[in-house]
């Protein structure tokens, strides 16, 4: 039996599946993305002018061979934080019980939540309510009570005065009340955290998710990029929305450049690094890009022009010469300064380095 047609069909199917999974699939996911809008901030924006020209110079000189543009990061732990109780205390408690996002019965956090709800809903009778007084007894210090005052989100001076008296706070102590949050649940993954967050929002409460680095990282290598300060969060597809092609890089002979514009905002530093890398990083293996600069001999004491490349002391980077960037160097530096990853994309918030909570307990 001639099996050649079967082999041919199998080879075509394998090629099709490879193309579908590695080309069409990622391309279709990228095409469905849109810039993220956060108030007046829009990210990402398409590069224009010098920065767009600089991307071509970066590519033409093969910079992507030695530098990556992709910050890696391990799995993040998410914690559900209550920031305001809302008007309906019963709905909030019901939602918290349904989502198993309520602190233990005897915890300080539980007392804070219940008392904040009570003060908001029925502050006039708070002084004679046994449950409220019992909740108040669980608050061991001024900080615990100021959290309650913050969470109550009181809107008029009379109510605020009544609550302050009930909590036995002086005017000075009450003035310390600010934006507070109580940790309800965590650690958990993104999908579970989103479910709990939406449930609390439906109860007219205000809550937020706080991403943190896990206490014990299972794979330290995946957190190395953040520990080197190459970025504050992992790279995601949205970061490359307007890059064609996306120059992710194949090696890391030099540092990752995904957020180089955020790490080093001084253009002068980039010019100096391009012309004489080891004058900026002593152990740098980067070759000097002197062909991107003009070099002119000058007499000793001649003042340097405004565009001259100087060292940290304001002297010429090469004594006896005035070094000035060519248009290509201007464009390349503009591109490097445009490489930034701000912490505003919803799918990859920057994890907190330290786990903190406004409550004394850490309810799970």
Phi/psi of residue 42, each to 5°?
Answer: -125, 125
Same domain, 220 and 71: yes
Distances in Å between the alpha carbon of 46 and those of 17, 41, 328?
A: 32, 13, 20
* Res 144: pLDDT: 75
Which of 149-158, 208-217, 241-250, 349-358 holds the top average pLDDT? 241-250
Q: 3-state SS of 17-78?
A: HHHHHHHHHHHHHHHCCCCEEECCEEECCCCCCHHHHHHHHHHHCCHHHCCCCCCCCCCCEE
User: Between these two residues, 273 and 131, which has the higher pLDDT value?
Assistant: 273
- Cβ contacts of 283-292, under 8 Å, gap ≥ 24: 284/254, 285/253, 285/254, 286/66, 286/254, 289/61, 289/329, 292/325, 292/326, 292/328, 292/329, 292/332
Tokens at residue 307, please?
């565009």
Residues 6+ apart with CB under 8 A from 45: 35, 242
CA separation for the pair 330, 317 (Å, rounded): 17
**Count of domains forming the chain:** 2
Q: What is the mean pLDDT of residues 221-238?
A: 90
Same domain, 317 and 230: yes
- Is residue 282 situated within a structural domain? yes
Same domain, 202 and 312: no
The range of the structural domain enclosing residue 176 comes to 77-212
Give the helix, strand, coil percentages of the chain, each rounded to 5: 45, 10, 45
Same domain, 220 and 322: yes
* Res 359: pLDDT: 34
Residues 6+ apart with CB under 8 A from 43: 35, 36, 238, 342, 344, 345
Q: What mean pLDDT is reported for the chain?
A: 81
Q: Let me know: does 318 contact 310? Beta carbons within 8 Å.
A: no
In the predicted structure, residue 256 carries a pLDDT above the cut 80? yes
Tokens at residue 130, please?
């046994």
* Res 82: pLDDT: 81
* Res 325: pLDDT: 96
Domain boundary among 212, 240, 257: 212
Calculate what percentage of the chain has a pLDDT beyond 70. 80
Model confidence pLDDT, tens digit, residues 312-353: 888 898 999 999 999 999 999 999 999 999 998 888 888 886
User: Between these two residues, 200 and 154, which has the higher pLDDT value?
Assistant: 200
Distances in Å between the alpha carbon of 121 and those of 112, 116, 154, 275, 317?
A: 14, 9, 10, 67, 69
To the question of pTM greater than 0.75 for the whole model, the response is: no
Q: Let me know: does 104 contact 110? Beta carbons within 8 Å.
A: yes
Same domain, 335 and 243: yes
Tokens at residue 63, please?
């910079």
Sign, Cα dihedral of 4, 6, 12, 17: negative
Total count of residues recorded for the chain:
364
Q: What is the mean pLDDT of residues 234-256?
A: 90
Q: Which residues pair with 206 in a beta bridge?
A: 84
- Is residue 8 situated within a structural domain? no
Same domain, 205 and 252: no
Cis peptide before 245 (omega within 30 of 0): yes
Distances in Å between the alpha carbon of 326 and those of 73, 107, 186, 245?
A: 37, 65, 54, 25
* Res 112: pLDDT: 76
Sign, Cα dihedral of 275, 280, 282, 284: negative
**pLDDT confidence bin for 205, thresholds 50/70/90:** confident
Question: What residue has token string 């003035």?
Answer: 175
CA separation for the pair 80, 215 (Å, rounded): 17
Residue 250: CB atoms within 10 Å: 11
Same domain, 166 and 265: no
* Res 217: pLDDT: 67
Q: What is the mean pLDDT of residues 149-163?
A: 61
* Res 125: pLDDT: 56
Same domain, 172 and 229: no
Model confidence pLDDT, tens digit, residues 280-318: 999 899 999 999 999 999 988 888 888 899 988 888 989
Q: Which residues pair with 310 in a beta bridge?
A: 316
- Is residue 199 situated within a structural domain? yes
* Res 354: pLDDT: 46
């Amino acid at each position: 039996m001639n099996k050649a047609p079967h082999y041919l069909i199998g080879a075509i199917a394998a090629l099709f599946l490879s193309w579908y999974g590695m080309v069409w699939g990622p391309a279709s996911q990228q095409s469905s993305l849109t810039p993220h809008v956060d108030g007046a901030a829009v990210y990402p924006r398409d590069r224009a002018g010098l920065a767009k020209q600089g991307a071509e110079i970066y590519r033409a000189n093969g910079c992507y061979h030695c530098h990556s543009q992709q910050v890696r990061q391990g799995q993040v732990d998410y914690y559900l934080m209550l920031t305001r109780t809302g008007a309906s205390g019963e709905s909030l408690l019901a939602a918290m019980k349904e989502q198993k996002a309520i602190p233990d019965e005897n915890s300080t956090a539980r007392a804070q939540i219940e008392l904040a709800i009570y003060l908001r809903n029925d502050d006039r009778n708070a002084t004679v309510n046994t449950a409220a007084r019992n909740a108040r007894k669980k608050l061991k210090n001024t900080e615990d009570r100021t959290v309650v005052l913050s969470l109550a989100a009181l809107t008029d001076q009379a109510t605020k005065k009544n609550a302050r008296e009930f909590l036995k706070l002086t005017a000075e102590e009450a003035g310390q009340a600010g934006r507070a949050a109580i940790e309800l649940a965590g650690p958990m993954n993104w999908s579970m955290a989103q479910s709990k967050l939406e449930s609390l929002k439906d109860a007219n409460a205000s809550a937020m998710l706080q991403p943190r680095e896990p206490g014990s990282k299972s794979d330290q290598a995946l957190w190395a990029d953040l520990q080197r300060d190459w970025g504050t969060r992992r790279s995601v597809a949205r970061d490359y929305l307007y890059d064609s092609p996306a120059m992710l890089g194949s090696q890391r002979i030099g540092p990752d450049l995904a957020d180089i514009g955020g790490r080093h905002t001084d253009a002068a530093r980039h010019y100096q690094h391009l012309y004489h890398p080891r004058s900026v990083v002593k152990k740098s293996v980067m070759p000097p890009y002197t062909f991107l600069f003009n070099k002119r001999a000058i007499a000793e004491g001649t003042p340097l022009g405004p565009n001259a490349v100087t060292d940290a002391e304001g002297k010429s980077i090469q004594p006896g010469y005035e070094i000035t960037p060519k248009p290509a160097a201007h464009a390349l530096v503009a591109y490097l300064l445009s490489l930034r990853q701000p912490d505003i994309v919803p799918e990859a918030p920057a994890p907190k380095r330290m786990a903190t909570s406004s409550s004394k307990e850490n309810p799970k």
